[in-house]
Homo-oligomer: A and B are copies of this chain.
């Protein structure tokens, strides 16, 4: 059994890691940390896990974590993970970092996040569908939630060198904003409404740019605008992609199915994707339609932001890092409706 620890386990991504790991056939949950809640039962905050876990939150030092865990998931704020990684990796422990600290080139990270990076090492960007090489790594930077939905929607066309302009209009559930109440999560503000934010300069854009230009070096005109919708979970991305050639919907079908051949968590539903059909699951559902008049294609993707957009993808990475099938512990359908 793989002994797993979660650093920063009291938030939504921590809770989701726990939910998925309690039934993972190859994992034993060894450790869940929280500075402020140390000593209290994990189920005092994650009440739905009552009966599945007998852990208390702890606040151990890095050496203790390293000795007790074969794998550590970092579910800590941006700028904080870099304080754990060097010491945790100083042994045989593998690390999946769910923060943004190692997703971008160091200089790009420093520019976008306004934080001096104390540990400028490289990490593989753990979007398994683009980077199967995570299987050889001890350390993986788990992608951001928005980039996961946007990159997966556009990667096949980007890799084919067909995109001229990309507009990602994304709609997220509010759980992406975290477990603490905010103005945006205040029910009277969000219900019956939609809240756009960071219209032109959301930090996740840098990940999208990095990965899509990694597929096609000349792609420059990449735009990303996120909105919060009245939903707990899910990220729905409407990608308006202007192409260099006129494509048909059949062309798209060929390109996408070929690109994602044998990727178990990519599905192409008949009809449009639905947040309902992925809720609680690790799938990314994708569909598309060509608009020949304006050389535009509309690509839609739906993920659960807490699963494929965070904790599920982290476990998918862990599975590969330990030589397991990538679906291990993740092969469950959505809780729909």
Contact = CB atoms under 8 A, between A and B. Distances in A.
Contacts of A230: 187, 191-192, 229-231
B193 A48 contact: no
A19 interface: yes
A325 interface: no
Interface stretch (A104-112, A127-135, A145-153, A175-183): A175-183
Number of identical protomers: 4
A231 B290 CA distance: 28
Interface string A1-43: 0000000000010010001001100000000000000000000
Interface stretch (A54-62, A64-72, A81-89, A194-202): A194-202
Contact of A48 (B191, B197, B232, B334): B334
A23 B278 CA distance: 16
A272 B197 contact: yes
A232 B175 contact: no
B167 A23 contact: no
Interface size class of A (residues with CB under 8 A): 35 or more
Interface stretch (A94-102, A113-121, A136-144, A291-299): A291-299
29 contacts: A12-B188, A15-B337, A19-B336, A22-B333, A48-B276, A48-B277, A50-B267, A165-B242, A167-B167, A167-B240, A169-B169, A171-B171, A180-B186, A181-B183, A181-B185, A187-B191, A192-B231, A192-B232, A192-B275, A193-B276, A194-B236, A194-B275, A199-B289, A199-B300, A200-B296, A201-B291, A227-B238, A232-B337, A233-B337
